[in-house]
A and B are shown apart, each in its own frame.
Chain A
C-alpha cells in the first residue's frame, strides 16, 4: 500500500508523462494534420463562420430604426463606399470567371501533328505516395497505352508534363509522376543546348526537387532555365515543359575528371491543385487488330 507521499509523487509523474505525451502528439500532429485539416476545414467551417455575419446584419437592420437622420446619412455614405469596393471585387471575380472559361477551353488543346489528346480526370490518389502516383478515369477503351505522356495546363495556357502512364485497364490508367524516382525520361535544356536524364538515382535528392543527371560538362547552365521533353521517347511529344533548373553540380573543368554533371530541378506541375489532365497519344500508332 503506497503512502500518501508516494501516491502524490506517482500522480505527479503520471501527470508529467501525460503532459509530455500530449506535447509530443501535438508537435507531431501539427505538421501532419496542418495540410489535411486546412483542406477540409475551409469548406466545413464556412457556413458556421457565416452565421455570425448573418446575425450581425440582422442586428444592424433592427438598430437602423433608432438612428437619427444625420447618423443615417453617415451610414448611407459608408454603405456607398462599401458598394464601390464590392463592385470592384465583383469585376475582379468576373475576370476570374472568364479566365476559368479560358482554362476550360485550353483543355481542348490542339495537339501537335500526328498526336491526339484525351481529357481525363484523376480518380484515385495514393495517400502514402501523394505526389508520386495517381489513377485517371480513361483506359485502353479510350486509346490510352502504357508510356503515354500525361499533361496539364498552366494559368497562362502552357502545357506541362505530369508523368507517364504505366499500366492501363479498360477504364482506367495508372500514372507515375515526375516526382516518382521510377520515372526516367530524357529532358532537354534548350538554353544550354544540353540533354539529361530525369531521375538518374533511386531517390529524390531534396524534398520538392527532382534530380537530373548525365548533363554534359562543357555547357553554361543557367538556374531557372526551362526543362522540356525531347521527343526521344516515342509516346511523349517534344517541347512539353517539365520544370525549371534549380541547381547544378559545380566542377572545376581543368582538374575534374567528371564526364557528366548532376543537378536538380523544380517540377512545374502542382499536383495538389490538379484534377484534370490530358493524355497524349500518337495518332499514327499502328492499330491493334482483333484476332
Chain B
C-alpha cells in the first residue's frame, strides 16, 4: 500500500476513534481532550495542510454529532493547528520530552478559545468566570499529558507502519523510510 494511502487511513481512523472516545466519555460528564492532542500530533508530524484538513473534518464531525448550533470546534482546532505550526517551525522534536512545551502551548490555545466561547455565553459573575478559567487551566495541563502519551504511542504505531514519525531522532534509524527533517527557525 502506498504511504499516502496508508497515512490517509491512519489519520481517518485516529480522528474517528478520538472523536468517538471524546463523545462517549462526555456522555458520562467526563471532559477528556482527545481531539486537540490528535490534531497537535498530526500538524507536528504531517504539516499544517494535513493538520488543517484533519481539524476541519474532526471539528465538523464532532460538532454535528453534538448538535451544536455553532461549529465551535473549528476555531478551537484552528488555534491548535496555528500554534502547532508555529512550534514546528521554531523547534525540533529530537527527543520525546521536547514536545511537552509545544503541546502545552497548543492545548492552552485550544482552552483559550473555549474560555472565550464560554465567557460569551455564560453569566458574567465571578463564580462562573473562575469555574471556566479553572477548567481551562486544568484541561490545558491534562491535554499536555494526553499529548505526551499519544505522541509516544502514535509514533510507535507510525514507525511500525512505515509512516513519518514525530520524534526526529527516530527518522534516521537504518532500514526505515527517511522523512524530510523538520525545518527549524535557527
Give Cα distance in the complex from A39 to B27, angstroms: 12
Chain B positions within 8 Å of A126 at CB level: 26, 66-68
Q: Tell me the minimal C-beta distance from B130 to chain A in angstroms.
A: 7
Complex contact A125–B26 (CB within 8 A): yes
Report which residue of A33, A35, A39, A166 has the largest number of chain B beta carbons within 10 angstroms of its beta carbon. Answer: A33
Complex contact A127–B137 (CB within 8 A): no
> Which of B69, B122, B123, B131 lies in contact with A182, CB distance below 8 A?
B69
Chain B positions within 8 Å of A18 at CB level: none
A202-223 interface with B by 8 A CB criterion: 203-207
Complex contact B127–A167 (CB within 8 A): no
Complex contact A130–B29 (CB within 8 A): yes
Give Cα distance in the complex from A124 to B131, angstroms: 23
Chain B positions within 8 Å of A207 at CB level: 122-123, 125, 127-128
Complex contact B68–A32 (CB within 8 A): no
Complex contact A125–B114 (CB within 8 A): no
Majority SS at the chain B contact face = helix
Known: A203-B123, A206-B125. A124 touches B66 (CB 8 A): yes
Q: Is B56 an interface residue (CB 8 A)?
A: no
Chain A positions within 8 Å of B137 at CB level: 24-25, 28
Interface residues on A, range: 20 to 34
**CB within 8 Å: A-B pair count:** 87
Q: Tell me the minimal C-beta distance from A123 to chain B in angstroms.
A: 8
Complex contact A124–B65 (CB within 8 A): yes
Complex contact B130–A31 (CB within 8 A): yes
Known: A32-B135, A32-B139, A125-B29. A166 touches B67 (CB 8 A): yes
Q: Is B161 an interface residue (CB 8 A)?
A: no
Please give me the residue from chain A that is nearest to B141 by CB atom: A25
Chain B positions within 8 Å of A206 at CB level: 123, 125
Q: Per-residue CB proximity of A24-56 to B under 8 Å, as 1/0?
A: 110111111101100110000000000000000
Q: Is B17 an interface residue (CB 8 A)?
A: no
Complex contact B31–A128 (CB within 8 A): yes
Q: Tell me the minimal C-beta distance from A92 to chain B in angstroms.
A: 29
Give Cα distance in the complex from A166 to B66, angstroms: 12
B63-107 interface with A by 8 A CB criterion: 65-69, 72
Q: Per-residue CB proximity of B109-147 to A under 8 Å, as 1/0?
A: 000001000001111110110110111111101000000
Chain B positions within 8 Å of A32 at CB level: 31, 131, 134-135, 138-139
Complex contact B66–A36 (CB within 8 A): no
Please give me the residue from chain B that is nearest to A35 by CB atom: B29
Q: Tell me the minimal C-beta distance from B49 to chain A in angstroms.
A: 28
Give Cα distance in the complex from A203 to B125, angstroms: 12
> Which of B68, B122, B139 lies in contact with A204, CB distance below 8 A?
B122
Complex contact B123–A204 (CB within 8 A): yes
Complex contact B138–A125 (CB within 8 A): no
Report which residue of B67, B114, B130, B134 has the largest number of chain A beta carbons within 10 angstroms of its beta carbon. Answer: B67
Known: A28-B133, A28-B137, A32-B139. A129 touches B27 (CB 8 A): no
Q: Is B28 an interface residue (CB 8 A)?
A: yes
Chain A positions within 8 Å of B125 at CB level: 206-207
Known: A133-B67, A203-B121, A203-B122. A36 touches B29 (CB 8 A): yes
Chain A positions within 8 Å of B25 at CB level: 127
Please give me the residue from chain A that is nearest to B24 by CB atom: A124
Complex contact A39–B68 (CB within 8 A): no
Give Cα distance in the complex from A182 to B121, angstroms: 11
Please give me the residue from chain A that is nearest to B114 by CB atom: A128
Known: A133-B68, A203-B123. A28 touches B28 (CB 8 A): no
Chain B positions within 8 Å of A174 at CB level: 67
Give Cα distance in the complex from A76 to B182, angstroms: 78
Chain A positions within 8 Å of B158 at CB level: none
A143-199 interface with B by 8 A CB criterion: 166-167, 174, 181-182
Complex contact B138–A40 (CB within 8 A): no
Apart from A32-B138, A128-B26, 13 more pairs, CB < 8 Å: A25-B138, A28-B138, A39-B29, A40-B28, A124-B66, A126-B26, A128-B114, A129-B68, A133-B67, A174-B67, A182-B69, A203-B120, A203-B121
**Would you mind naming 8 contact pairs between A and B with Cβ atoms under 8 Å apart?**
A25-B137, A28-B133, A126-B26, A127-B22, A128-B72, A128-B114, A129-B66, A133-B66
Q: Which B residues contact A (CB, under 8 angstroms)?
A: 22-23, 25-31, 65-69, 72, 114, 120-125, 127-128, 130-131, 133-139, 141
